[in-house]
């Protein structure tokens, strides 16, 4: 098996993509309350600043800034995935709910941050789930909430 090496930088900002195994599934939105609970518990245990997040039927995106004291995103995602999988009804042919890996991208500049936040905002529109980003209910942009401001310069990875 290939060893995956993630970039671990305290206080850095990252863009994440996390997917379920079955493309085209509606698992995440069908069980949104279970996902919200799993997320809330994980960030209570491992606090993070979430600048933007969107949940689509079969994947999600998030922009997080890690705390000064360490880098916990791997453990945070593990707990979210595990709690969610334990909370939903299993089917007999299901080998796993989530793809084993997730994609993370270290945010390097303010433009990079803005692109990541815009990706979260516009993703439901690009997938044809809504015509207006603010209308998608499973997003940090729902009902005009918007996203946090760009993190301080020290949290962006040097180019």
Active-site annotation holds for 138: yes
Q: Alpha helices of 9-99 — where are they, by DSSP H?
A: 27-30, 32-45, 73-87
Residue of 14, 39, 73, 138 marked catalytic: 138
Residue 132 makes CB contacts below 8 A (sequence gap 6+) with 125
SS (H, E, C) 118-130: HHHHHHHHHCCCC
Burial class (CB in 10 A: 0-12, 13-18, 19+), 68: exposed
The angle that helices 73-87 and 32-45 make with each other, rounded to 10 degrees, is: 140
Residue 30 makes CB contacts below 8 A (sequence gap 6+) with 57
> Which of 42, 62, 59, 60 has its CA nearest to residue 51?
62
Active site residues: 138
């Amino acid at each position: 098996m290939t060893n995956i090496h993630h970039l671990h930088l305290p206080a850095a900002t990252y863009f994440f993509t996390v997917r379920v195994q079955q493309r085209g599934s509606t698992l995440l939105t069908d069980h949104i309350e279970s996902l919200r609970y799993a997320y809330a518990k994980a960030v209570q245990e491992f606090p993070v600043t979430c600048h933007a997040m969107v949940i689509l039927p079969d994947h999600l995106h998030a922009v997080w800034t890690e705390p000064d004291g360490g880098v916990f995103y791997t453990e945070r995602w593990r707990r979210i995935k595990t709690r969610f999988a334990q909370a939903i009804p299993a089917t007999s042919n299901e080998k796993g709910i989530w793809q084993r890996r997730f994609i993370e991208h270290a945010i390097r500049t303010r433009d990079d941050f803005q692109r990541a936040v815009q990706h979260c905002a516009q993703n439901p529109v690009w997938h044809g789930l809504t015509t207006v980003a603010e209308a998608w209910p499973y997003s940090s942009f729902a009902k005009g909430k918007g996203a946090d401001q760009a993190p301080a310069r020290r949290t962006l990875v040097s180019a």
